Amino acid sequence: MSRQQRDALDAVLRSAPRSERRPTPEEQRSGFAAAVTRPAPEGVVTCRTVLGGRPALELEPAEASGRGRLLYLHGGGYVIGSPDTHAGLVGELARRTRLRATSVDYRLAPEHPFPAAVDDGLAAYRELLASGTDPRALVMAGDSAGGGLSIATLLAAREAGLPQPAAVVVFSPWADLTLAGGSIRSKESADPIFTEADVRAYAELYVGAGDRAHPLASPVFADLTGLPPLLVQVGANEVLLDDAVRLAGRAGADGVEVTLEVGPDLPHVFQHHYGRLDEADAALERAARFLTTRLSSGRPGADHLKPVH
């Protein structure tokens, strides 16, 4: 893997201007969209839809297998981000898995604080099942806050008596809104994107004076028993490193099949940089293989589902 690529990316991320005052949510949303939005990859067709009562973006690769579905929950601290900002990342994962993906535009804080996002995630998941999607043919993924939200959605589904999907992948999950992980402070100088204050501000907007240790806000404190096979990918150079490590540890302790991957010298959700960072492409390939393998093992007749390069 290329040290030159990693160093160049770190320099670019550190060069982003930081305001002396904290931007409004609207300013953060527009700035984030301008900075990270990538279009869906060539050969992936997108269309607007509605799922669980919320707007959503459907992404279908040209080589879609016709079987299996991917439900994606985007990142952005529960305050910013959308299916449009993540069309490139989700489309790339859809292309590599050959699965039709749906990315949900769940409600954002502070206009819609916790547990609105969890309610929307659960509603989307519930509608997929109600419309006839076999849970053994369904996988989930999410990044950052969307990674924590993916786990929270599955916890809510478990409590509602719904079956679990075949597998779930989370990229750099934000899984502890109490900010108890040691890396929040120890990795601050290594992280080219976030400071502890940044993460704390998002937590305040999402949960406010509520219980930040609530299992659906901070899944590191949840009983994860019964959740599906889980892949956690995280960069070593991020303040949320310990969120990922502790989430994987909690899952393992609760009997969940879990794989943890820590990428040396990599930033938050480095998978966004596919096509220009070798580690991002390799991680997405492993994530695709993880998902399609679980689909294949979970139901008859699905052995043809293989990730594409």
Q: Is 9 exposed, middle or buried (0-12, 13-18, 19+ CB in 10 A)?
A: buried
Tokens of 182: 């040691």
Is position 74 annotated as part of the catalytic site? no
Is position 238 annotated as part of the catalytic site? yes
Catalytic, out of 214, 268, 272, 273: 268
Angle between helical axes of 278-298 and 87-97 (0-180°, round to 10)? 50
Catalytic, out of 172, 183, 218, 238: 238
HSE, side-chain direction, 13 A CA sphere, residue 152:
33
Is position 19 annotated as part of the catalytic site? no
Question: CB of 107 within 8 A of CB of 127?
Answer: no
Residue whose C-alpha is closest to residue 68's, from 296, 230, 289: 296
Question: CB of 99 within 8 A of CB of 71?
Answer: no
Q: Where are the alpha helices (DSSP H) in the chain?
A: 3-14, 25-36, 87-97, 116-130, 145-159, 183-186, 196-207, 241-253, 278-298
Catalytic, out of 144, 172, 183, 218: 144
Under 8 Å CB-to-CB from 188, ≥6 apart: which residues?
195, 196, 239
Annotated catalytic residues are: 144, 238, 268
